Every structure is written in C-alpha cells, then in structure tokens.
Chains A and B, each alone.
Chain A
C-alpha cells in the first residue's frame, strides 16, 4: 500500500509538477472555456435568427427562400460530423489566410451549435399558441415587436433547459480541437502523455475535469428547471 502511494506520488509529480506540466491542463482549460463560451454566443445568435425565419415560414408561408437556405444549413450541419466541419473551416475555408486557431474553432463550433440551437428555439416558438401573435398584432404591434416582446420570451423560457444542455454537449465536443492542433484541455492532457509516456494519469485527469464541469453545469440546469417550473403560475 505504501509502495502504491509512493508510486502514485512519483507519477503525479512527473506528470503534473515537473516542468510545470500542469500548465498544459490549466491553459488548455482556458482555451476550452473560451471556445465554448464564444461559440455558444455565436450559436445563440445564428440559432435565433434561423429559428425566427423558419417558424415565420411555418406559420405564415412567407420567407420561402430564406427558409429553404436555413433548412439546407441545418441539414448539412446536422448531417456531417463536427470534426469534419472543424477541419473544413480551418484547412479549407481559412486555407489561404493565417487565422488564429482559437478563432477558427470558435467559428466552426459556433456554426455547428447554431444549427442545434435553431431547432431547439424553433420548437419553442412553435409551442407558443398562435393566439399570442394575434393578440400582439391586434394591439398594433408589428410582427417583429410581437416576436421580441411576446413570443420569444415565452419560447426562450420553455427551451432554456434544452439550450443549457446543448451547451454542455458543446463543451465536451470542443475536445476535438486537437485536430487543428489547438491546445485545449484534451490536447493538453495528450501533450503530457507524449512527454511522460504515461497515458493513465493525464488522460484520467482530463476526464475528471470535464466530468466536474459537466456535473456542475447539469446541476445548474436542474436548479434552473426547478425555478422555472415554480414560476409557472
């Protein structure tokens, strides 16, 4: 037992302390959070616009061409692996310009997440009674005012837990950033593995950090869901 503890200590020092190797994890975590946060913002932005266009089309039959384009986007994004999308953004779209890898990843994951957010928000908008739009319009509000003040707040509240879950998935998905040699959390662990020839410790550490963040965020979603339900008067 004492031997095992000693062995663990040596490995721990070798993997994390020597040459400040823990910095790969810390810096990687920073990159992971940065990519997740900004791609979530882009995802929300793209997702809401697409959701509004598509549900407007579903309800009124207007905006045929924009709706078709949105549908195409959602189909392509949801129909191809996100790692392929990331590679295409970095090596094809930005092939000739020297773009920061973090930016490339944020754009790729943002575009990816936009398609999923769009479907979530669209289902939220469609779940609101058409009477709400009619009531808003009959009071003289125009279409966009009614969307903004009446439909979207209700839709958003309905889909908030689903949206939060989407961003938890996104957090985990950014772990493929290593494909474009971006040193995120997962890549950080992998770099340590390459230095120490010890796979167990750095990879388990990485897994635990992801797990910790996901559990924490899920807990937050749970609390939020309970709050929302209790405010449903």
Chain B
C-alpha cells in the first residue's frame, strides 16, 4: 500500500566545484514506495541518495522528511538520520567490533535502549537473515554477502521509516548477489519504504513500485516498472536500457 508522502525533494541541486552532480531534482517518496533509481555512472544517483540524509549538504533546494525541512541548518539532523537507514556499496561495517556490537551500538547510544532490548532485537533480525550463528564474528571473518546482510540489519536495528540503498550488490561476487537481493525483497514485502540505487534490472522490475531514471544530475523519466521497461520515452533512457538489459 502506497501511503502519505515521506520524503519530498524540491529543486535539489548539488555542485562539487564546477561539477553539477545534481541539477534541479524534484521527487516524492511515499510510504511503502520501493523507488528504484537507475542511470549511467556519474549521473548523480549516489549524490541524490546521500543528500537525502545530508551526508552531502545540498547546494540548493529543499528536502522535507516527514514534514520537516531537513536542509534548515537549525534542524537536528541526527534525529532524522535515526529514521533513515542507509546501506552502502562498501558495507562499511565497523571492523573493530563484532557483528552484534556493530548492530547494538547506535540503538544503545542514540536511542538509549537498554542493552538487553537492543540485543534481543539484533538477534531477532540476525535470525531473519540467517546469520544468528555469526553474531560474535568480526566483519573480516565474513563473506561479502554476509557483510552486506549485516549492514542491512544493522540499519534496521534503528527501526527506520525509510531505507536508502546505494548499489548494495555492486561490490559483491556474482554468486552473493542473490542472498542480498533476497533480504531486500523480503524487506520490501514487509512494507518498508525503500529508495534503491541499483543496476539489477530484474530486481527493479520485480520489486520496484517506481523507477526513476537519472542522467546528468536530472531525473529524466519516472514511471512504473512495466511502463518504463516496455515503453521508454526518452532517447537517453533507450540508450541506457540497450546497454544494461
């Protein structure tokens, strides 16, 4: 079920020196959306995602998250980041901590949960992704696919309202892509709002509620998966699809 607007982006722009990574982007993410962002490398997909939780500070425009303009400097961004989980291409687990400690750190330090409660939640999530037996392992003892699944449940421990994924399977060996996509598919099935940058067109078509095609810092097309794949209107999207499909 697609519900109320969770994130509203207005005329967002971001420049790195003379490079315009984002050039006037408008977008809306609704509750229950699985918005899949596709586009050629360097088109601004990562920058867009990273702006949503202010890992990049936008040069212009507004981002409303649950009604609050988070680009307002007076806003406490840490509060809003708690509600936005982020999963990176490079996993970014904390190598000096066990899997469990990776997961319970911010529930304890940020949400001030008692340790037992945080552990209970973490173990429950680990069981759901089949990694409960790796709880006391260190990240370097895990495979890439395992690391990424841990990164996903680490973010879920904060019980976010939306999950942002930046090419979560691009750094994985091909045989591990499936296990991570499975977790994401289940997550989408549970009703989680997701914004996913990916090159996995199968996943986009199957799980996405909307596909956003970006090129040169702009959103060029935005459609339902069936429409976009069967009926691309712009030449740039046609050229892109011809390359990736």
Contact = CB atoms under 8 A, between A and B. Distances in A.
Interface of A: 129, 131-132, 134-142, 145, 149-150, 153-154, 157, 232-233
A132 B88 contact: no
B82 A140 contact: yes
A138 B53 CA distance: 7
Interface string B66-97: 00000000000011011011101010111110
A153 B96 contact: yes
B136 to A, nearest CB: 12
Contact of B109 (A129, A138, A145, A157): A145
A139 B90 contact: no
A142 B92 CA distance: 17
A141 B141 contact: no
B110 interface: yes
A139 B155 contact: yes
Residue among B85, B94, B111 with the highest chain A CB neighbour number at 10 A: B94
B45 interface: no
Contact of A157 (B55, B96, B105, B138): B96
Q: How large is the interface on B (under 10, 10 to 19, 20 to 34, 35 or more residues)?
A: 20 to 34
Nearest to B141: A233
A154 B90 contact: no
Contacts of A142: 78
Contacts of A232: 140
Nearest to A156: B96
B106 interface: yes
Residue among A136, A138, A142 with the highest chain B CB neighbour number at 10 A: A138
A139 B81 CA distance: 6
B158 A140 contact: yes
A131 B147 CA distance: 15
Contacts of B121: none
Contact of B96 (A135, A139, A140, A154): A154
8 contacts: A135-B86, A138-B81, A138-B84, A139-B110, A140-B81, A141-B78, A141-B109, A149-B109
A139 B141 contact: no
A-B pairs with the 4 shortest C-beta distances? A140-B82, A135-B92, A138-B86, A139-B106
Contacts of A149: 105, 109
Contacts of B105: 139, 141, 149
Given A154-B95, A154-B96, A139 B154 contact: yes
B106 A150 contact: no
Contacts of B111: 140
Given A132-B92, A134-B92, A135-B92, A140 B110 contact: yes
Contacts of A134: 55, 88, 92
Residue among B81, B88, B106 with the highest chain A CB neighbour number at 10 A: B106
Contacts of A157: 96
